[in-house]
């Protein structure tokens, strides 16, 4: 049986949010597999740095700017990639942001930014790249970075959590649409667990003391307990290439979250947080 990783050599991979974190790790994994890697990010300096590092290691990478909150920017990225490199066989819709704050205290701009990047960025990534991927008739991969947060609930992170629920649903429906087309395109929903990235440090949100404390707590937790972006990518990349739909960095945690979500919905339970989460937020555990 042929090695799927070996078949990637020379193919083109496009990774959004590749200037840091999981996206940076995925860029290195794709390059190690011999792919031509498009390091796409709104932070062009970070993207150039990642592309430089890949080239210095003997890989093939090109940094390209993209603002996934803007459909036109994604269209321009797709056009530039196809003009310069040809068919894309791997698309990682990975860019994402975290916004912390009470739902009613986030500004309309903060809400729109979060949803445009986390949801519409992937939707328009598929819209811009999938037609050419389908037209090529070649085996290809589309992976959407969701989160184990999409299997749960968390106050103060509402905009992020709902966006990841939406990304799971989008990925499921996209998978079925590719089945209807009989297309050789594998769709994956990537559910990272704790990964030490810049997502909270770069994230915005409410400026009240509670939001700031929660953001600092979550950032500290990720950096204390989370794996690196590269380690996460090294766990993610082979699963995506193998055609897995559910892709996890922490399988046991993902299974627990999924089982808890299923139980919550099947029982139509009232929303509630585990005691340890309440305690970490300085809240009393209900009697």
* Domain limits, the chain: 7-250+264-276
Start-to-end Cα distance in the chain: 58
Token pair for 46: 């970070």
How large is the average pLDDT for residues 171-188? Answer: 98
172, 187 in Cβ contact below 8 A?
A: no
Convert the pLDDT of each residue in 192-250 to its tens digit.
Answer: 999 986 565 665 655 555 445 545 555 555 565 779 999 999 999 999 999 999 999 99
* Separation CA 270–CA 259 (nearest Å): 16
| Cβ contacts of 12 within 8 Å, gap of 6 or more | 35, 36, 37, 38, 81, 85, 86, 87, 88, 89, 90
Q: What pLDDT shows up at residue 277?
A: 73
pLDDT for 159 beyond 50? yes
Question: 3-class DSSP state for residue 150?
Answer: helix
Convert the pLDDT of each residue in 30-78 to its tens digit.
Answer: 999 999 999 999 999 999 999 999 999 999 999 999 999 999 999 999 9
Residues annotated as catalytic (active site), given as ranges: 160
More confident residue, 284 or 176: 176
- Which of the following CATH numbers is that of domain 7-250+264-276: 3.40.50.720, 2.60.40.3620, 3.30.70.20, 3.40.50.12170? 3.40.50.720
In which band, very low, low, confident or very high, does the pLDDT at 132 lie, cut at 50, 70 and 90? very high
Phi, psi of 203 (to 5 degrees): -75, 155
Q: What pLDDT shows up at residue 6?
A: 79
Token pair for 259: 């089982």
């Amino acid at each position: 049986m042929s090695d799927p990783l070996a078949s990637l050599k020379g193919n083109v991979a496009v990774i959004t949010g590749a200037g840091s974190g999981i996206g940076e790790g995925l860029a290195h994994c794709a390059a190690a597999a011999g792919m031509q890697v498009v390091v796409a990010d709104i932070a062009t300096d970070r993207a150039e740095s990642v592309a430089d590092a890949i080239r210095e290691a003997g890989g093939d990478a090109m940094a390209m700017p993209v603002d996934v909150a803007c459909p036109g920017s994604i269209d321009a990225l797709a056009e530039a990639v196809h003009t310069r490199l040809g068919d894309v066989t791997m698309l990682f819709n990975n860019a994402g942001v975290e916004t912390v704050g009470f739902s009613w205290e986030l500004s309309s701009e903060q809400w729109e930014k979060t949803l445009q990047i986390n949801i519409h960025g992937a939707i328009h990534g598929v819209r811009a790249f999938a037609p050419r991927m389908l037209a090529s008739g070649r085996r290809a991969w589309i992976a959407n970075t969701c989160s184990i947060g999409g299997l749960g609930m968390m106050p103060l992170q509402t905009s992020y959590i709902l966006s990841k629920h939406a990304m799971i649903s989008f990925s499921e429906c996209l998978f079925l649409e590719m089945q209807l087309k009989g297309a050789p395109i594998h769709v994956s929903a990537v559910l990272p667990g704790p990964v030490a990235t810049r997502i909270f440090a770069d994230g915005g949100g409410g400026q009240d003391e509670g939001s700031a404390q929660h953001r600092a707590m979550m950032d500290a937790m990720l950096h204390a307990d989370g794996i690196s972006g590269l380690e996460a990518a090294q766990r993610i990349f082979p699963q995506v290439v193998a055609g897995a739909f559910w892709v996890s960095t922490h399988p046991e945690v993902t299974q627990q979250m999924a089982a808890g979500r299923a139980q919550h919905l099947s029982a139509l339970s009232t929303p509630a947080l585990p005691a340890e989460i309440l305690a970490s937020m300085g809240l009393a555990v209900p009697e």
